[in-house]
């Protein structure tokens, strides 16, 4: 059976690409992370939040033109319908449903199913072909409740009031989610930000995500930072930038942090297992719920998930998409 | 169990030694017997959960998890214990029993029943606890905590000297209730049979040039400084045990020594390998040290012996309060009475002035590769620790080589934001090949300058490692060089440190691999 989409995530019927790594005349963008949203496309179709994120990250004219499409509203292009459904990954992140000639194809982009008030909650979508990510596609990944992880962070802050806690987070999505989790756990002191975090936090707040009082960390006197929480990119928490804080506790919020050897190698003293991707169980559930008979697996540890799908009697294969980070951060972000 | 799991995680991830000690102190003073004693046994490697082996754990997991998925996961995680802890797919109600109860359960479950019991425990455990459970069951911690650190925490917690704790340690058994009672002032020091335990060693200080003017050579004796490892032989009515300088028992690796030693005494000496008491290189000794259990072929090719230089107990009699000269007389008399095949006496070197001894030291280094000489005060009693003015080591001058900085890696703890671990190399034809790695020998100020230089001269990054332009020369000091199959250069340095940073020296003038041949003994 021919599918509406090919293995490079190109849709011939409407001459459009999903998350292309190179500039294309027409691109559908699932979400704002750099390994999915690049600058230089001709026309971009994305959710309103994703369009705003791209403009903040790459500039107002990072694409020839933008078309915003709300969640759940089908857009008919010459008989092919494109609909966005929330992916729960970051603010504005979407799964893309392509529907024509009675065939339904869903490209998940990155997604997660645990609650997160900084992103529109994931909705399962039924389809014939599911293109799923597999960032944490191994059964060793069993993400804990993020609220428990935040409780561990707060316990450490209380126990060591003379030290700063530096929490390494990617600037888009993870940072805002960690801040929101802290607020929901009752942390109402100001939260301090590395410069790279500021614009995107401001954008989230302007889009209606309440993050409380945020203050730039740079320029604060060292003693004032004792007992405070600082959010910074992972690259900064162990680097020279961290020397301005009193005896910092290096924390990192990432799904990879469940592997202690990794935390040790990264010199992380307090690993926080907070992920914006599905864990193994959620990937399994999502695949079964989609009722898809064919599954293409990309972004991460494809082997194990393809193997598992075949065990379930599904037609599955890995997609080797170019330009995607296989083993760096969470899907490169 | 949760408390123990939290402790293990903190110990594994906290770079600061002080914080590790603080966490250990708090744990030992807050957790009751017998759980704290079991934790102590785990941390000091004394706990033996006999029937639980990694293979059993693996089989238990493979009964629940697809083999291919397990293999892919293990491949990714890289550590069997951690893979098992992370992958266990079941969750059950209930809490894990306390540490002591848990160990008791594992030790009293029949082999046939163990997979079911372990499966039940893994299901009850939270993810952090599973990791601790696997570590506990397999006994392989690898979390960067030594037995000595755990004992240091006990000393700090109780105010009792670490040496006193080490004195009794080898006569104690988990869960150490009598030890804790003593540490907390609720009971007397445990009474231990000396013939079955380790006695802390007397150590030396390096001698400085200015020391010689103040010291009269007639007050001192001298011996060669042997290039082996320091051991203590405890020879009692129950048999012979051999301990390393930190009190770890190493008898099983050296049955050739232990089984042939005759008589009763506690002796201090150097473990060496070679035929007919002719000591071979440290490299050869290392081949024996790497084996937990000795192998026949190795014992034939590299027979071990102990070169004895002191006596702590003569029969049952504690002679540590005697001066060196009196102990030496006892030692010689003991050897006359107890002929040995694998123990011999360390030779006393004749000299009349420090210049004399200096000449001997140079000659010994050049002709026999001796590490230097030991200088001992004739009247000094045997005092554990490093008492000033009693024993000195006078090492031969270090070798130096000019090498080029190749890679720099971030340090740990306080240095984690600095590139402080350096790999350096020498020329082989037109390329530079690594010969070693060093992370000390420079001041804090120099570290800052090096960090800055490295950031400005990085050519590539691999995780925490930076490759730099091959432009900066270090004068590297080292004790000796050995042939090594592990390094691309074929040479490995012992105890390398940065002697000087040669900001002025062009990399072209650094040493060549051929130059290293002269150092390989």
Residues 250-309 on A with a CB inside 8 Å of B are 250, 258-261, 263-271, 301, 303-304, 307-308
Asked if B69 lies within 8 A of A308 by C-beta distance, the reply is: yes
Answer yes or no: are the C-beta atoms of B1 and B96 closer than 8 Å.
yes
Say which CATH topology domain A146-273 has.
Answer: Rossmann fold (3.40.50)
A80 to chain B, any CB pair closer than 8 A? The answer is no
Token pair recorded at residue A141: 């990944």
Query: Is B332 found in the same domain as B366?
Result: no
The pLDDT value given to residue A273: 96
Q: B46 lies in a domain? A: yes
A318 to chain B, any CB pair closer than 8 A? The answer is no
A2 to chain B, any CB pair closer than 8 A? The answer is no
Using a pLDDT cut of 90, give the percent of chain B over it: 59
Residue among A137, A140, A241, A252 with most chain B CBs within 10 A, to mutate: A140
Query: Is B362 found in the same domain as B253?
Result: no
CA of A236: which chain B residue's CA is closest? B417
Query: Is B92 found in the same domain as B82?
Result: yes
- pLDDT at residue B78 greater than cutoff 50: yes
Only one residue has tokens 């051929």, namely B514
The pLDDT value given to residue B220: 96
Asked if A138 lies within 8 A of B127 by C-beta distance, the reply is: no
Distance to chain B for A283, nearest Cα, Å: 14
CA of A304: which chain B residue's CA is closest? B69
> Is A10-140+277-318 a CATH 3.60.15.10 domain?
yes
Nearest to B73 among A138, A269, A271 (CB): A138
* Cα–Cα distance for residue pair B397/B120, rounded to 1 Å: 61
DSSP A71: B
CB atoms near residue B299 (< 10 Å): 17
* Cα–Cα distance for residue pair B498/B407, rounded to 1 Å: 14
Q: Kindly state the average pLDDT of the residues A312-317.
A: 95
**Helices (DSSP H) in B159-281: which residue ranges?**
162-169, 177-183, 211-214, 255-258
Q: Kindly state the average pLDDT of the residues B444-462.
A: 89
* Cα–Cα distance for residue pair B117/B100, rounded to 1 Å: 16
H/E element, A277: none
Q: B197 lies in a domain? A: no
Spatial neighbors of B288 by CB under 8 A, at least 6 apart, are B253, B254, B273, B294, B298, B302, B304
Query: Is B209 found in the same domain as B328?
Result: no
Asked if B65 lies within 8 A of A139 by C-beta distance, the reply is: yes
The pLDDT value given to residue B482: 82
Q: B194 lies in a domain? A: no
Distance to chain B for A312, nearest Cα, Å: 13
- pLDDT at residue A69 greater than cutoff 90: yes
Token pair recorded at residue B331: 């030692």
Nearest to A238 among B9, B89, B410 (CB): B410
* Cα–Cα distance for residue pair A123/A115, rounded to 1 Å: 12
Closest CA to A44 of A14, A71, A11, A19: A19
**B147-160 per-residue burial string, b: 16 or more CB within 10 A, e: under 16:** bebbbbbbbebbeb
Within 8 A of B76 by CB-CB distance, chain A residues are 138, 140, 301
* Cα–Cα distance for residue pair B421/B39, rounded to 1 Å: 33
Q: Kindly state the average pLDDT of the residues B300-313.
A: 95
Any idea where the domains of chain A sit in the sequence? 10-140+277-318, 146-273
What CATH number is given to the structural domain containing B22?
1.10.3260.10
Q: B4 lies in a domain? A: yes
Query: Is B293 found in the same domain as B211?
Result: no
Using a pLDDT cut of 70, give the percent of chain B over it: 98
Only one residue has tokens 């009792």, namely B160
Query: Is B133 found in the same domain as B30?
Result: yes
Closest CA to B409 of B448, B460, B449, B467: B467
Only one residue has tokens 């445990």, namely B190
B79 to chain A, any CB pair closer than 8 A? The answer is yes
Token pair recorded at residue A70: 């709300």
Q: B134 lies in a domain? A: yes
Query: Is B50 found in the same domain as B10?
Result: yes
Q: B152 lies in a domain? A: no
* Cα–Cα distance for residue pair A290/A42, rounded to 1 Å: 32
Q: How high does pLDDT run on average in chain B?
A: 90
B464 to chain A, any CB pair closer than 8 A? The answer is yes
- Look at A49-63, A148-162, B228-242 and tell me which has the smallest mean pLDDT: B228-242
The pLDDT value given to residue A1: 57
CA of B132: which chain A residue's CA is closest? A260
DSSP A206-243: HTT-----EEE-TT--GGGGTT-EEEE-HHHHTSGGGG
Domain boundary among B120, B138, B156: B138
- pLDDT at residue B265 greater than cutoff 50: yes
H/E element, B344: strand B343-345
The pLDDT value given to residue A192: 97
**In this structure, what are the phi and psi dihedrals at residue B131, rounded to the nearest 5 degrees?**
-60, -45
Asked if A138 lies within 8 A of B13 by C-beta distance, the reply is: no
Answer yes or no: are the C-beta atoms of A17 and A38 closer than 8 Å.
no
Query: Is B389 found in the same domain as B408?
Result: no
ipTM, two decimals: 0.93
At B149-199, the pLDDT tens digits run 999 999 999 999 998 898 788 778 899 999 999 999 999 988 776 666 788
Query: Is B109 found in the same domain as B3?
Result: yes
Question: CA quadruple B451, B455, B460, B465: dihedral positive or negative?
Answer: positive
* Cα–Cα distance for residue pair B270/B343, rounded to 1 Å: 10
Within 8 A of B68 by CB-CB distance, chain A residues are 304, 307
B78 to chain A, any CB pair closer than 8 A? The answer is yes
Only one residue has tokens 């009672």, namely B181
CA of A256: which chain B residue's CA is closest? B77
Question: CA quadruple A304, A306, A308, A310: dihedral positive or negative?
Answer: negative
- pLDDT at residue A333 greater than cutoff 60: no
Nearest to A239 among B9, B12, B417 (CB): B417
Residue among B23, B70, B86, B466 with most chain A CBs within 10 A, to mutate: B86
In total, the C-beta contacts within 8 angstroms joining chain A to chain B are: 72
* Cα–Cα distance for residue pair B43/B136, rounded to 1 Å: 9
Angle subtended at Cα B401 by Cα B399 and Cα B405, rounded to the nearest 5 degrees: 135
Distance to chain A for B455, nearest Cα, Å: 11
A155 to chain B, any CB pair closer than 8 A? The answer is no
- Look at A8-22, B140-154, B331-345 and tell me which has the smallest mean pLDDT: B140-154
Nearest to B79 among A138, A261, A303 (CB): A261
Spatial neighbors of A209 by CB under 8 A, at least 6 apart, are A91, A117, A118, A176, A180
Nearest to B131 among A240, A260, A269 (CB): A260
What CATH number is given to the structural domain containing B370?
3.30.1490.70
- pLDDT at residue B47 greater than cutoff 90: no
* Cα–Cα distance for residue pair B331/B345, rounded to 1 Å: 8
- pLDDT at residue A324 greater than cutoff 50: no
* Cα–Cα distance for residue pair B22/B31, rounded to 1 Å: 14
Q: How high does pLDDT run on average in chain A?
A: 93
What CATH number is given to the structural domain containing B413?
2.40.50.140
Q: Kindly state the average pLDDT of the residues A80-90.
A: 98
User: Rounded to the nearest 10 degrees, how much is the dihedral formed by the CA atoms of B488, B491, B494, B497?
Assistant: -70
Instruction: Quote the number of domains for chain B.
Output: 4
Confidence bin at A329 (pLDDT 50/70/90): very low
At A129-140, the pLDDT tens digits run 999 999 999 999
* Cα–Cα distance for residue pair B460/B453, rounded to 1 Å: 14
Token pair recorded at residue B238: 């129950």
- pLDDT at residue A323 greater than cutoff 50: no
Confidence bin at A331 (pLDDT 50/70/90): very low
Confidence bin at A322 (pLDDT 50/70/90): low
DSSP B438-492: E--SS-HHHHHHHHHHHHHTEEEEETTEEEE-TT-EEEEEESEEEE-SSSTTSEE
- What Cα–Cα distance (Å) separates residue B102 from each residue in A98, B9, B40? 55, 19, 15
Highest mean pLDDT among A279-293, A313-327, B63-77 belongs to A279-293
At A200-214, the pLDDT tens digits run 999 999 999 999 999
CB atoms near residue B216 (< 10 Å): 7
Asked if B417 lies within 8 A of A238 by C-beta distance, the reply is: yes
Answer yes or no: are the C-beta atoms of B427 and B488 closer than 8 Å.
no
Nearest to A140 among B68, B86, B412 (CB): B86
Query: Is B128 found in the same domain as B32?
Result: yes
The pLDDT value given to residue B440: 84
* Cα–Cα distance for residue pair B56/B52, rounded to 1 Å: 6
Q: B280 lies in a domain? A: yes
- pLDDT at residue B294 greater than cutoff 50: yes
B160 to chain A, any CB pair closer than 8 A? The answer is no
* Cα–Cα distance for residue pair A57/A44, rounded to 1 Å: 15
Within 8 A of A267 by CB-CB distance, chain B residues are 15, 410, 412, 416, 464
Angle, in degrees to the nearest 10, between helices A302-311 and B67-77: 170
The pLDDT value given to residue A326: 34
At B393-429, the pLDDT tens digits run 998 888 899 999 999 998 766 676 789 999 999 999 9
H/E element, B347: none
* Cα–Cα distance for residue pair A68/A47, rounded to 1 Å: 5
Q: Which domain does B339 fall in, by range? A: 227-344
Return the SS3 of B427. Answer: strand
Query: Is B308 found in the same domain as B366?
Result: no
Q: B255 lies in a domain? A: yes
The pLDDT value given to residue A213: 97
Answer yes or no: are the C-beta atoms of B311 and B266 closer than 8 Å.
yes
Answer yes or no: are the C-beta atoms of B481 and B493 closer than 8 Å.
yes
Distance to chain B for A121, nearest Cα, Å: 26
Q: Kindly state the average pLDDT of the residues B126-131.
A: 87
Query: Is B423 found in the same domain as B323?
Result: no
Angle subtended at Cα A326 by Cα A322 and Cα A331, rounded to the nearest 5 degrees: 95
Asked if B82 lies within 8 A of A142 by C-beta distance, the reply is: no
B447 to chain A, any CB pair closer than 8 A? The answer is no
Only one residue has tokens 């089989």, namely B59
- pLDDT at residue A332 greater than cutoff 60: no
Q: Both ends of chain A: CA-CA distance in Å?
A: 35
* Cα–Cα distance for residue pair A189/A161, rounded to 1 Å: 14
Beta strand ranges found along chain A (DSSP E) = 10-11, 16-18, 26-28, 41-46, 63-68, 75-77, 80-86, 94-100, 103-107, 129-134, 165-168, 191-193, 214-216, 229-232, 249-253, 270-272, 294-300, 315-318
Angle, in degrees to the nearest 10, between helices A174-184 and A195-206: 70
Answer yes or no: are the C-beta atoms of B285 and B273 closer than 8 Å.
yes
**Helices (DSSP H) in B99-161: which residue ranges?**
99-107, 114-124, 127-138, 147-158
């Amino acid at each position: 059976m021919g599918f509406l989409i090919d293995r490079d995530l190109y849709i011939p019927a409407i001459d459009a690409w999903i998350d292309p790594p190179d500039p294309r005349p027409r691109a559908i963008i699932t979400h704002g992370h750099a390994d999915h949203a690049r600058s230089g496309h001709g026309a971009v179709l994305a959710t309103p939040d994703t369009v705003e994120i791209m403009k903040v990250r790459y500039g107002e004219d990072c694409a020839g033109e933008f078309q915003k499409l709300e969640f759940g509203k089908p857009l008919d292009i010459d008989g092919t319908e494109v609909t966005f459904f929330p992916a729960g990954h970051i603010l504005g992140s979407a799964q893309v449903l392509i529907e024509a000639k009675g065939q339904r194809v869903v490209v998940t982009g990155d997604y997660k199913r645990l609650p997160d008030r900084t992103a529109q909650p994931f909705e399962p979508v039924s389809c014939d072909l599911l293109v799923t990510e597999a960032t944490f596609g191994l059964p060793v990944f069993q993400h804990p409740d993020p609220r428990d992880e935040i409780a561990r962070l707060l316990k450490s802050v209380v126990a060591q009031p003379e030290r700063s806690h530096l929490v390494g987070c990617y600037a888009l999505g993870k940072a805002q989610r960690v801040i929101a989790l802290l607020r929901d756990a009752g942390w109402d002191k100001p939260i301090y930000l590395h410069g790279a975090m500021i614009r995107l936090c401001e954008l989230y707040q302007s889009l209606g995500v309440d993050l409380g009082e945020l203050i730039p960390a740079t320029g604060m006197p060292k003693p004032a930072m004792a007992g405070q929480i600082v959010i910074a990119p992972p690259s900064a928490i162990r680097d020279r930038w961290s020397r301005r804080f009193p005896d910092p506790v290096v924390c990192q919020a990432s799904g990879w942090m469940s592997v202690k050897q990794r935390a040790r190698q990264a010199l992380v003293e307090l690993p926080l297992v907070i992920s914006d991707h599905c864990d193994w169980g959620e990937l399994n559930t999502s695949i079964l719920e989609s009722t898809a008979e064919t599954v293409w697996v990309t972004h991460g540890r494809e082997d194990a998930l393809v193997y598992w799908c075949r065990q379930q009697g599904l037609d599955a294969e890995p997609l080797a998409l170019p330009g995607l980070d296989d083993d760096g951060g969470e899907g490169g972000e | 169990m949760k408390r123990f799991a939290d402790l293990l995680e903190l110990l594994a991830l906290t770079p600061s030694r002080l914080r590790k000690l603080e966490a250990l102190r708090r744990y030992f003073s807050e957790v009751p017997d017998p759980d704290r004693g079991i934790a102590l046994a785990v941390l000091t490697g004394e706990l033996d959960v006999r029937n639980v082996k990694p293979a059993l754990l693996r089989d238990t997991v493979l009964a629940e998890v697809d083999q291919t998925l397990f293999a892919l996961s293990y491949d990714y995680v890289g550590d069997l214990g951690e893979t098992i802890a992370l992958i266990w797919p079941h969750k059950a109600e209930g809490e894990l029993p306390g540490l002591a109860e848990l160990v008791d359960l594992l030790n009293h479950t029949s082999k046939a029943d163990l997979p079911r019991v372990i499966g039940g425990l893994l299901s009850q455990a939270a993810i952090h606890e599973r990791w601790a459970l696997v570590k506990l069951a397999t006994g392989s911690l690898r979390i960067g905590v030594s037995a000595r650190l755990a004992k240091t925490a006990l000393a700090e917690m109780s105010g009792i000297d670490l040496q006193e704790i080490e004195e009794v340690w080898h006569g104690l058994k988990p869960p150490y209730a009598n030890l804790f009672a003593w540490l907390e002032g609720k009971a007397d020091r445990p009474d231990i049979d000396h013939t079955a335990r380790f006695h802390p060693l007397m150590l030396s200080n390096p001698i400085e040039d200015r020391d010689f003017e103040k010291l009269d050579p007639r007050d001192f004796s001298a011996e060669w400084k042997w290039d082996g490892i320091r051991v203590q032989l405890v020879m009692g009515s129950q048999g012979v045990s051999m301990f390393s300088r930190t009190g770890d028992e190493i008898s099983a690796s050296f049955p050739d020594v232990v089984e042939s030693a005759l008589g009763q005494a506690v002796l201090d000496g150097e473990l060496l390998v070679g035929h007919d008491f002719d000591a071979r290189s440290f490299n050869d000794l290392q081949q024996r040290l790497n084996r937990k259990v000795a192998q026949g072929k190795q014992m034939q090719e590299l027979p071990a012996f102990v070169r004895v230089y002191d006596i702590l107990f003569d029969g049952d009699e504690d002679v540590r309060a005697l001066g060196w000269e009196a102990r030496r007389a006892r030692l010689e008399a003991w050897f006359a009475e107890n002929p040995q095949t694998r123990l011999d006496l360390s030779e006393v070197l004749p000299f009349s002035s420090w210049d004399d001894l200096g000449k001997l030291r140079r000659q010994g280094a050049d002709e026999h590769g001796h590490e230097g000489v030991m200088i001992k005060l004739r009247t000094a009693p045997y005092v554990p620790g490093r008492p000033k003015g009693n024993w000195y080591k006078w090492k031969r001058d270090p070798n130096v080589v000019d090498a080029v900085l190749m890679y720099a890696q971030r340090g740990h703890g306080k240095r984690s934001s600095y590139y402080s671990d350096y790999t350096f190399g020498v020329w082989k034809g037109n390329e530079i090949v690594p010969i070693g790695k060093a992370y000390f020998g420079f001041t804090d100020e120099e570290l800052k300058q090096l960090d800055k230089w490295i950031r400005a001269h990085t050519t590539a990054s691999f995780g925490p490692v930076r490759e730099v332009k091959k432009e900066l020369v270090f004068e590297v000091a080292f004790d000796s060089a050995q042939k090594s199959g592990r390094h691309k250069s074929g040479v490995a340095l012992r105890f390398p440190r940065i002697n000087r940073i040669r900001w002025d020296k062009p990399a072209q003038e650094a040493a060549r691999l051929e130059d290293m041949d002269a150092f390989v003994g």
